[in-house]
Structure 1
Amino acid sequence: MKLVKSLVLGSAAAFVGMTGAQAADLPGAEPVEYVKVCDAYGAGFFYIPGTDTCLLIGGLVRGDYSVGEVVRTIGGGSSKPANNTGFRARARLWFDARTETEYGTVRTYIRAQFQRDSGNQSGSTAATAVGGDDSVFDKAFVQFAGLTAGLTDSFWDFKPYPTFTNPFISDRTLAVLAYTADFGGGFSASIGIEDGTARRTTATGGAGGPGFADYREQKYPDIVGNLRVKQGWGEAQLSGFAHHITTEEISRDSDWGYGVQLGAKVDLPFLGKGDFLWASAAYSSGALSYLGLGSGSGDYAFVVSGTQNILNANRLVDFEVGPGGKIRKTEAYAFNLGVLHYWSPKWRSALQGTYVDANVKTFGQNNDFSGYGITTNIIWTPVKKLDIGAEINYVKVEDKSAVYNLRDDDAFVGRFRVQRDF
């Protein structure tokens, strides 16, 4: 037995020695490179192995459950034209890659979004991307030396919003090409072009007389810019847009819509850590989407029962065409005021009021209208990056247009949300 043991140990020693000798003759193996933390851009970034690029990977999963009053149509039709309840599941995954260069930071950002709606007004059960196209990319852009190119938030929009839903606020992700100049001290200015087709709100009218008209080709993109300041007290932004309108009714005509918005967010640390007051005032001529109205208004509302479409029962169009092809633009104002308050590190609430007034006078018919909304919520964060909350939204038409065809002029929508960020 001792002889066998000696033979085994001797053979193992000889094998190890021979292997070591052979390894000494081979080129040196590359050292293992472990992932390193990158603290240049905040928590969560790490170096992509073998590069000087820092990467952040994140995402969220959200479940929304809504219930609302059914809005009935005057003059017949189903007494229950849509569902009272609806469901939405949403998932996001984003990648934020940044590299320092002699020209500054090069940033590449991708955010994929998947969504499934069911039980809502349309009855859709298909998994679709927000925005109604075939792409799952909610955002995809490059930033370099002040340049922003790709799919991202409109430079008109002013965030953060204090509540889940904001009926009369633009909240758009669309194709942009813009330049931002940083003046230091928190001051900056941006100017760029954005996809105007994503902002169109229109209805077709008959040719040969007064009525509504479809847009034609996009000859010029929307021109959007802002002036922004962000300092210790909060932030503010003044933004504006120019929106080209081209149509064909009787004769060819074109015009420019335009608008301006002032938004401010004031931090309220004396009330609670994270508290803030948020407000905006906006005017639009010829492009209702910039006020969160009509088609192309973005993802501001999770609609069930058509309750938040109460205002859409009015004639929400960007322009009208009269005799001789004359374009008459819709004018509208929107005002918003909200506050977010942390009762404790795990509990917070928001309260927001919104008001809109639109001048949609057609040639010979009054379609002006106004309305308002009130939203409040309560959110519990039992653990970090997990929100469980409920929100209720009340919308009312104050002044109805001549074409208003809904029996009810106000409605409630309630929603329950569970969201986990990572």
Structure 2
Amino acid sequence: MKLVKSLALGSAAAFFGMSGAQAADLPGAEPVEYVKVCDAYGAGFFYIPGSDTCLQIGGFARLDLSVGEVVRNNSGVKPNNNTGFRARARLWFDARTETEYGTLRTYIRTQFQRQSGGVGAQAATDLGIGDDSIFDKAFVQFAGLTAGLTDSFWDFKPYPTFTNPFISDRTLAVATYTAEFGSGFSASLGIEDGTARRTSTATAVFDSLGSNYQEQKYPDIVGNLRVKQGWGEAQLSGFAHHITTELGGRDSEWGYGVQFGAKINLEAIAKGDFIYGTAAYSSGALSYIGVGATGDSAFGIASTQNVDRGNRLVDFEIGNGGGIRKTEGYAFNLGALHYWSPKWRSALQGTYIDVDVKSAGNDWAAYGVTGNLIWSPVKKLDIGAELNYIKVTKTSSTYQLRDTDELIGRFRVQRDF
């Protein structure tokens, strides 16, 4: 009986094998293409069928809830809301191909969000052209060149917390060349969109002194020196920002600044732990230290909490003689991330900013402390809460803050894929 079964199974296998071979040889039969894993660039890449290009697709869905105190204005009115919601979806495509000049990379990231919190406004879907728009990133990298919409080469970004006040975190148009020297060392130099860095909130009170940009004559010049090795990474970056104005007589100046940032891995304590810090100086371009009309330093969502909106937010002023007087600023940040276990982590960060506005009585300064706790019950799912304490230590003489400090909380749920 065993012999009969063996012969029957063997005959069946031979029959189906012959049938498959004959079917493959039939005229007009199309070969079947299977998606193949591409392991040249890390996990998640696969070959686009019929090409030698590797593609990775990823993204996330996120909900943020911001709750906090609201600063009063000079009339004793609280112009913002205590709570706000933001739902955000992000999707990216990373395509890479090996060439004789090295890796050719194309990266596209789209972003959609709907948020509430603006005073007197209903929840709105953001489809604008700003930093949080549907067109979020799109750039090409080839033979050291990065060209397109991406992170500024000034920024240093291993942020440990959800909210990162008084830190530049900008996406803008760039054309930059990066030279790799080996052992993790590199240098970058290029041009970036200077209009995306303009800060000017002059009102009727400040019309005689407020900044008044004219045309962009030259783009911003931005460069950095960077090292990334097993111990961590560090970066020294600088910028030059051209200013032109016709308020009080045509004049032009160059703003400038420098920043140092470092991240040190603390794997001896726990896997993923690190300490992080930045120190930055800016003259004539407050956006480089995380202050601007686009809400860089907002702790909340939409118009829920903006502690610096009552202060002078101008890159420069025009003196009585018509000359440009640049605003200066310093910003410092120090933070740490610790994994209590593979599923629990928390971060703590302190920040300080001091802004020197040339018109009398308009200097201002603030500091903050941020802490969070995040639970990841399964891989790539984060459920966390964060608390910010902000203290305004000095403020514009024309805007007296009624509440000089406030607490702001944020709850977040995020699933990456």
In the superposition, the TM-score normalised over structure 1's length comes to 0.89
**Number of the residue aligned with 2:110:** 112
Correspondence 1:63-212 to 2 at 5 A: 63-76=63-76, 79-121=77-119, 123-129=121-127, 132=130, 136-204=134-202, 210-212=208-210
Partner of 2:389: 394
CA contact (8 A) 1:240 1:261 kept: yes
2:276 alignment counterpart: 278
Deviation (angstroms), 1:75: 2.5
The structure that has the greater radius of gyration is: 1
Structure 2 distance, partners of 1:327, 1:109, is 40
d(CA) in 1 for partners of 2:210, 2:374: 44
Cα distance in structure 1, aligned partners of 2:297 and 2:205: 33
Contact 1:367–1:401 (CA<8 Å) still a contact in 2?
yes
**2:301 equivalent among 291, 296, 303:** 303
| Structure 1 residues 134 and 338: CA distance shift in structure 2, 3 A | closer
Structure 2 equivalent of residue 15 of structure 1:
none
For residues 300-379 of structure 1, what are the structure 2 equivalents within 5 Å? 301-303=299-301, 306-307=304-305, 309-362=306-359, 365-379=360-374
| Residue in structure 2 matched with residue 42 of structure 1 by the alignment | 42
Gaps of 5+ in 1: 1-19
CA drift of 1:80 comes to 4.2
Distance 1:40 1:209 in 2: 57
Structure 1 residues 165, 205: CA separation in 2 closer, same or farther (over 3 Å shift)? closer
Alignment deviations for residues 329-356 of structure 1 (CA, whole Å, 9 cap, x no partner): 0000000000000000000000000000
Q: Is contact 1:215–1:246 with CA below 8 Å preserved after alignment? A: yes
What is the alpha-carbon distance in structure 2 between the residues aligned to residue 329 and residue 59 of structure 1?
A: 41
Aligned to 1:3: none
1:130 and 1:138 in contact (8 A); partners too: no
Partner of 1:17: none
Contact 1:340 1:348 in 2 (8 A): yes
CA–CA distance in structure 1, aligned partners of residues 398 and 332 of structure 2:
24
CA offsets 1:372-400 (integer angstroms, 9 cap, x no match): 01100000000000000000111111122
Contact 1:196 1:218 in 2 (8 A): yes
How far the C-alpha of 1:133 sits from its partner, in A, is 7.7
Segment of structure 1 superposing worse, 395-404 or 158-167: 395-404
**C-alpha spacing 1:159/1:300, structure 2 compared with 1 (3 Å):** farther
**Residue type of the partner of 2:89?**
A
* Secondary structure at the counterpart of residue 196 of structure 2: helix
Q: Shift of the alpha carbon at 1:366?
A: 2.2
Asked if residue 260 in structure 1 is aligned to residue 258 in structure 2, the reply is yes
Distance 1:206-1:416 versus aligned 2 partners, 3 A rule: closer
- The answer to whether the 8 A contact 2:83-2:304 is kept is no
* Secondary structure class of the residue paired with 2:110: strand
Deviations 1:230-282 (A, max 9, x none): 00100000000000001111210000000000000000011110000000000
Q: How many residues align?
A: 398
Give the whole-Å Cα distance in 2 for the aligned partners of 1:238 and 1:376. 27
Deviation at 1:208, TM superposition (A): 12
Does the aligned pair in 2 maintain the 1:198–1:296 contact within 8 Å? no
Question: How much does 1:25 deviate?
Answer: 9.7
Paired with 2:54 and 2:376, the residues of 1 have a C-alpha distance of 29
Rounded to whole Å, the distance in 2 between the matches of 1:374 and 1:134 is 25
Q: Which amino acid aligns with 1:356?
A: I
Asked if the contact 1:289–1:297 (Cα under 8 Å) also holds between the matched residues in 2, the reply is no
Give, in whole Å, the separation in 1 of the partners of 2:406 and 2:303: 10
**SS state at 1:311 partner:** coil
CA displacement, residues 41-85 of structure 1 (integer Å, 9 cap, x when unaligned)? 000000000000000000000000111112211235xx4432211
Matched AA of 2:69: E
Q: Is the 8 A contact 1:335 1:355 kept in 2?
A: yes
Amino acid at match of 1:395: I
1:32 equivalent in structure 2: 32
One-letter amino acid of the structure 1 residue matched with residue 174 of structure 2: V
SS at match of 2:75: coil
For structure 2, the residue ranges without an aligned partner over 5 or more in a row are 1-19
Query: SS in structure 1 opposite 2:246?
Result: strand
Structure 1 residues 152 and 298, CA gap change in structure 2 (3 angstroms):
farther
Scaled by the length of structure 2, what TM-score is found?
0.90
Q: C-alpha root-mean-square deviation of aligned residues, in Å?
A: 2.4
Deviation of 1:118 after TM superposition, in Å, equals 1.1
Q: Identity across aligned pairs (percent)? A: 73
Contact 2:96–2:103 (CA under 8 A) maintained in structure 1: yes
Does the 8 Å CA contact 2:167/2:297 hold for their aligned counterparts?
Answer: no
Residue type at the aligned position of 2:279: A
- Tell me the distance in 2 between the aligned counterparts of 1:264 and 1:239: 12
- Conserved in 2, the CA contact under 8 Å of 1:85 and 1:304? no
Verify the 8 A CA contact 1:94 1:111 in the aligned structure 2. yes
Aligned to 2:411: 416
Range with bigger deviation, 217-226 or 130-139: 130-139
Task: Give the stretch that moved more between structures: 365-374 or 148-157.
Answer: 365-374
Q: CA deviation at 1:316?
A: 1.2
Cα shift at 1:131: 5.3
Q: Give the Cα–Cα distance (whole angstroms) in 2 for the partners of residues 372 and 209 of structure 1.
A: 29
Q: Report the CA distance between 1:294 and its aligned residue.
A: 2.1
Specify the alignment match of 1:380 in structure 2: 375
